[in-house]
A and B are shown apart, each in its own frame.
Chain A
Amino acid sequence: MSKIKPKRKDTFIDMTAMSDVTVLLLTFFMSTSTFLPKEPVKIASPSSVSETKIPESNIMTILVDKSGKIYMTLDRKDNKLAVLEEIGKDYNITFTPAEKLSFVNQANIGMPASMLQKFLDLRPEQQDKVLKDYGIPSDSTNNQLKLWIQHAVTVNSDIKIAIKADKDSPYSLVKSVLSTLQELKQYRYHLVTSLAQ
């Protein structure tokens, strides 16, 4: 008599299907995610209990760093181009198509108008380096920030204003930005904060 051998079971699970699903999800998340915007200076936003999220689009962010350098970002590219043209008119600068493209691709606005053209001729990596040392001039005699905001608001009247200031920046800096906005009759802002731990 021969013994009845129990049939050996194969415990190998086919993971191919699962891998298909995960790759699909991965592609979805990769394509829908928006990456953190590049910022020329490091800004630690103050913590708060507020849970309101920042609006999705149509937003202008004003960055104020610890030392008072001010940068601006506009999320819509068509607005950016229009604003650049307005600034060009103000300062009698005609930008070449290459410079316009460079301006649209550079995430942050933060150069004095007089140096803008030279800055835009630089390569993107160099631009990021140079940008750190400048910022939009906003003192009372040469308030270029006001001009930029003014044009941004006229180009797109529905734009929302977000202010992202460092938690250690003195209030006087924030106050000057706020009063500039008040002068332009803009009274509603979003103050960017991070959720308190």
Chain B
Amino acid sequence: MAEIQTGGGGKGKKGQPKKINVRVDFTPMVDMNMLLLTFFMMCTTLSKPQTMEIAMPAKDNVKQEERSKVADTKAITVLLDANNKLYYYLGKPNYTDFTSLKEATYGGVDDKNSFRSLLNSRNSVAIEKVKALKRSRDRREIKEDFYKEEVKKIRNDKNGEVVIIKPTDKASYQNLIDVLDEVAIAQIGTYAIDDVNKGDQFLIDNLKSKGTLTKNSQVPAAPTTK
């Protein structure tokens, strides 16, 4: 194909041009093409960014009774502070006992003190259920659609855990994403992002000063439900 035969037969007469084989070697070109091809394939598939879908609550017109539906035993409130600090309390805030607010880390399951371990132990039933579903899906016992449907059901269980995320203004965006990740890993479907109120800030300050604020009776009045 890529060769041009010039001249006559092998035993040419004197004076006739010699047979030149102008065969072009295409191998380097193929190499180069493959390289470009790989580059374009990589760029198109890998450059697409991942996203996380979230829904925010409406700002107004939310009735009071709709707001306080969360059972106290199921609520975990997470406060995100500056310098990658994470605090949490379970149920209602307790302003008199500074140890009710606990500090956690962003570490993995190996870290006993991490937020993931906390959610793991709190939501272990749902996590186990999802794991079992995943196993049967991997063994092709159930279909992908059914799996997704079931996981959705588990996540949106009415009696499941509820995480309320309250990032302070000093927290970074990465902190928020990290916590949203943890919530997703722990198969918790109900979560909300809220603003830090005075009471929450008090809890953080109280923990930092090891309860001196409570002693000085600076306890904020009624816990403002926001």
Q: Is B52 an interface residue (CB 8 A)?
A: yes
Q: Is A51 an interface residue (CB 8 A)?
A: yes
Stretch from B53-61, B67-75, B96-104, B117-125 that touches the partner: B53-61
Q: Contacts A14-B1, A50-B184, A170-B169 known; A191 to B23 CB distance under 8 Å?
A: no
User: When the two chains form their complex, are residues B169 and A175 in contact, meaning their CB atoms are under 8 A apart?
Assistant: yes
User: When the two chains form their complex, are residues A174 and B173 in contact, meaning their CB atoms are under 8 A apart?
Assistant: yes
Q: Is B205 an interface residue (CB 8 A)?
A: no
Q: Contacts A168-B173, A169-B173, A171-B167 known; A193 to B52 CB distance under 8 Å?
A: yes
- B80 (CB) vs chain A CBs: closest residue: A171
Report how far A193 CA is from B171 CA in the complex, Å.
Answer: 17
Q: Is A17 an interface residue (CB 8 A)?
A: yes
Nearest CB of chain B from residue A145's CB, rounded to whole Å: 16
User: When the two chains form their complex, are residues B43 and A54 in contact, meaning their CB atoms are under 8 A apart?
Assistant: no
Assign chain A's interface to a size class.
35 or more
Contact of A193 among B1, B43, B44, B49 (CB under 8 A): B49
Nearest CB of chain B from residue A99's CB, rounded to whole Å: 31
Q: Is B33 an interface residue (CB 8 A)?
A: yes
Residues of A within 8 A of B172 (CB): 167-171
- B58 (CB) vs chain A CBs: closest residue: A187
Report how far A16 CA is from B23 CA in the complex, Å.
Answer: 11
Query: Which positions 150-197 of chain A face chain B at CB distance < 8 Å?
Result: 162, 164-175, 178-179, 181-183, 185, 187-196
Q: Contacts A16-B26, A170-B172, A191-B177 known; A182 to B56 CB distance under 8 Å?
A: yes
Q: Is A101 an interface residue (CB 8 A)?
A: no
Q: Is A4 an interface residue (CB 8 A)?
A: no
Q: Contacts A167-B174, A167-B177, A171-B168 known; A32 to B50 CB distance under 8 Å?
A: no
Greatest chain A CB density within 10 A among B50, B177, B184 is at: B50
User: When the two chains form their complex, are residues B50 and A19 in contact, meaning their CB atoms are under 8 A apart?
Assistant: no
Report how far A154 CA is from B2 CA in the complex, Å.
Answer: 60
Q: Is B142 an interface residue (CB 8 A)?
A: no
Report how far A172 CA is from B81 CA in the complex, Å.
Answer: 12
User: When the two chains form their complex, are residues A45 and B49 in contact, meaning their CB atoms are under 8 A apart?
Assistant: yes
User: When the two chains form their complex, are residues A175 and B56 in contact, meaning their CB atoms are under 8 A apart?
Assistant: no
15 additional contacts, CB 8 Å, given A14-B26, A29-B37? A23-B33, A34-B44, A36-B47, A48-B180, A50-B50, A50-B184, A170-B170, A171-B167, A171-B173, A178-B56, A189-B55, A189-B56, A190-B52, A193-B52, A195-B50
Q: Residues of A with Cβ closer than 8 Å to B? A: 12, 14-19, 22-23, 25-26, 29-30, 32-34, 36, 45-54, 64, 162, 164-175, 178-179, 181-183, 185, 187-196
Q: Residues of B with Cβ closer than 8 Å to A? A: 1-2, 23, 25-27, 29-30, 33-34, 36-37, 40-41, 43-44, 47-59, 80, 167-178, 180-181, 184-185, 193, 195
> What are 11 A-B contacts with C-beta separation under 8 Å?
A15-B2, A22-B30, A22-B33, A54-B48, A54-B50, A169-B172, A179-B59, A187-B57, A189-B54, A190-B52, A190-B53
